[in-house]
Amino acid sequence: MIALHIENIYKKYQGKPVVVDFSLQVAPGEVVALIGESGSGKSTILKMIAGFEKPSAGQIHLYGKTVYSNEIFVEPEQRQVAMVFPYHALFPHLSAEKNIAFALQHHNRRQKRKIVEDMLNLVGLLEFRKHKPHQLSSGQLQRISLARSLAIKPKLLLLDEPLSKLDVMLKKYMREQIKRIIQQTQTTAILVTHDKEDAFVIADKVVVIKDGVTQQIDTPQKIYTTPHNEYVAHFFGEVNFVEGKKSCNGYNTPLGMIETLPTTENCTVLIRPENVEITTENSDTIPVTIVKTVFYGAQQELTLELENGKKITVFIPQQQKIEVGEQLFCKLNAWDKIFER
Ligand SMILES: Nc1ncnc2c1ncn2[C@@H]1O[C@H](COP(=O)(O)OP(=O)(O)OP(=O)(O)O)[C@@H](O)[C@H]1O
């Protein structure tokens, strides 16, 4: 059984395509993150799943039932889909428990009390049940909002940038809380984010979108280690690209020989900053000049200039003392991916 099956949906606004031939299958209990730059069409996809927007073409099925096609449009309230927004959107005059109970219009009092208590326990806020929104912190508000969405046992939970308004420390904590709560309730969920850590920590599967077009659908590990293209590689952190030319036992690059079986004349090699080492050793190494250093706490980021003028970014431990202007050497410890051309 597939929980959510999206087939080739398109969306245009004023003639401009914002979602192009988007397809996705989500298994029950799976958590999928849609990630992309601002304006890439993520929220539009979420709105089409919820039924707040109609696709220009394509089909959407929820647990085998078609909720959108040329002939069919199931209203949002009939889809059993819940949505969590970055702004918690709780009623300010109602307590936490009443906000959660509000979603449970079709239950009797006893059922309501039980579900509300279960939900407050789930999000770890039972003792705050009588608090009104203004008496709760941002993280607590977001957890109550999640509890309210989950109270109706939705077939699908849609999370639109739920952590974007939180500070860094709270974001990290809430990421883990959301993951735990979703796992514990075995909820099928789609998360929209532009933060790679949200996607990597919370999701089982990540969809990278650029200008409405899917670039890759994969596990977080595969997205990071085997990106389909240079855009995906770039999106998930600092990367270097160097040009390679075919030679008898690999590709020749400005960072040395990459030993592999060359299949094309030219290639671009993806090298992550952690795979380049700085050394004073001048044999089997490449001479470089340090042109920039940036302190990031546990590590520092260096910009190196090769003899041909090409600049490379590397990360080194904070303890290694290196100054701008120093002439040193670098060594390639590993390469990440070859894009053949
Ligand atoms: N109702 C609308 N009418 C016209 N254009 C719209 C409408 N809603 C969204 N758009 C446009 O569609 C494109 C995709 O918007 P969308 O909100 O889906 O992107 P997003 O990836 O979610 O961005 P963000 O991360 O900033 O929320 C944008 O160019 C946006 O301006």
Quick: pLDDT tens for 37-66.
Answer: 999 999 999 999 999 999 999 999 999 999
Question: Is ligand 1 within 6 A of the CB of residue 212?
Answer: no
Tokens 């909002």 correspond to 145
Question: Is ligand 1 within 6 A of the CB of residue 193?
Answer: no
Please identify, among 208, 235, 262, the residue that sits at the C-terminal boundary of a domain. Answer: 235
Question: Between these two residues, 168 and 135, which has the higher pLDDT value?
Answer: 135
State the distance from the centre of ligand 1 to the C-alpha of 39, rounded, in angstroms. Answer: 5
Please identify, among 235, 261, 290, the residue that sits at the C-terminal boundary of a domain. Answer: 235
pLDDT at 135: 96
The C-alpha atoms of residue 21 and residue 176 are separated, in whole angstroms, by: 32
* Mean pLDDT, range 173-198, rounded to an integer: 93
Q: Please tell me whether residues 136 and 254 are part of one structural domain.
A: no
Please identify, among 177, 201, 235, the residue that sits at the C-terminal boundary of a domain. Answer: 235
ipTM passes above 0.90: yes
Question: Is ligand 1 within 6 A of the CB of residue 105?
Answer: no
Quick: pLDDT tens for 89-127.
Answer: 899 999 999 999 998 988 999 999 999 999 999 999 999
Identity of residue 127: E
**Average pLDDT score over the chain:** 94
What CATH number is associated with residue 312? 2.40.50.140
Q: Please tell me whether residues 74 and 220 are part of one structural domain.
A: yes
Quick: pLDDT tens for 253-307.
Answer: 999 999 999 999 999 999 999 999 999 999 889 999 999 999 988 889 999 999 9
Contact between 100 and 116 (Cβ < 8 Å): yes
Closest CA to 203 of 1, 2, 6, 29: 29
Degrees (nearest 5) of the Cα angle 205, 159, 238?
Answer: 55
pLDDT at 87: 76
pLDDT at 170: 85
Model-level pTM?
0.89
Q: Please tell me whether residues 55 and 107 are part of one structural domain.
A: yes
Is a pLDDT exceeding 90 seen at residue 319?
Answer: no
Residue nearest to atom 6 of ligand 1 (CA): 13
Q: Please tell me whether residues 163 and 291 are part of one structural domain.
A: no
Q: Please tell me whether residues 222 and 121 are part of one structural domain.
A: yes
What is the number of domains present in the chain?
A: 2
User: What is the number of the ligand 1 atom nearest to the C-alpha of 41?
Assistant: 18
Q: Please tell me whether residues 116 and 24 are part of one structural domain.
A: yes
Residue nearest to atom 8 of ligand 1 (CA): 44
Q: Please tell me whether residues 116 and 161 are part of one structural domain.
A: yes
From 10, 12, 13, mutation site for ligand 1 pocket: most ligand atoms within 8 A of C-beta: 13
What CATH number is associated with residue 224? 3.40.50.300
**Residue 244 lies in domain:** 240-340
Q: Give the other-Cβ count within 10 Å of 44's Cβ.
A: 21
User: What is the number of the ligand 1 atom nearest to the C-alpha of 44?
Assistant: 18
Question: Is ligand 1 within 6 A of the CB of residue 43?
Answer: yes
Quick: pLDDT tens for 202-217.
Answer: 999 999 999 999 999 9
Contact between 83 and 125 (Cβ < 8 Å): no
Q: Please tell me whether residues 13 and 125 are part of one structural domain.
A: yes
Question: Is ligand 1 within 6 A of the CB of residue 207?
Answer: no
Give percent above pLDDT 70 in the chain. Answer: 100
Closest CA to 190 of 46, 94, 14: 46
208: left (phi over 0), alpha (psi -120 to 50) or beta: beta
Is a pLDDT exceeding 90 seen at residue 168?
Answer: no
- Any bridge partners for residue 210, and if so which? 213
Contact between 268 and 336 (Cβ < 8 Å): no
Closest CA to 164 of 193, 187, 143: 193
Q: What is the 3-state secondary structure (H, E, C) of the chain?
A: CCCEEEEEEEEEECCEEEEEEEEEEECCCCEEEEEECCCCCHHHHHHHHHCCCCCCEEEEEECCEEEECCCCECCHHHCCEEEECCCCCCCCCCCHHHHHHHCCCCCCHHHHHHHHHHHHHHCCCHHHCCCCHHHCCHHHHHHHHHHHHHHCCCCEEEEECCCCCCCHHHHHHHHHHHHHHHHHCCCCEEEEECCHHHHHHHCCEEEEEECCEEEEEECHHHHHHCCCCHHHHHHCCCCEEEEEEEECCEEEECCEEEECCCCCCEEEEEECHHHEEEECCCCCCEEEEEEEEEECCCEEEEEEEECCCCEEEEEEECCCCCCCCCEEEEEECCCCEEEEC
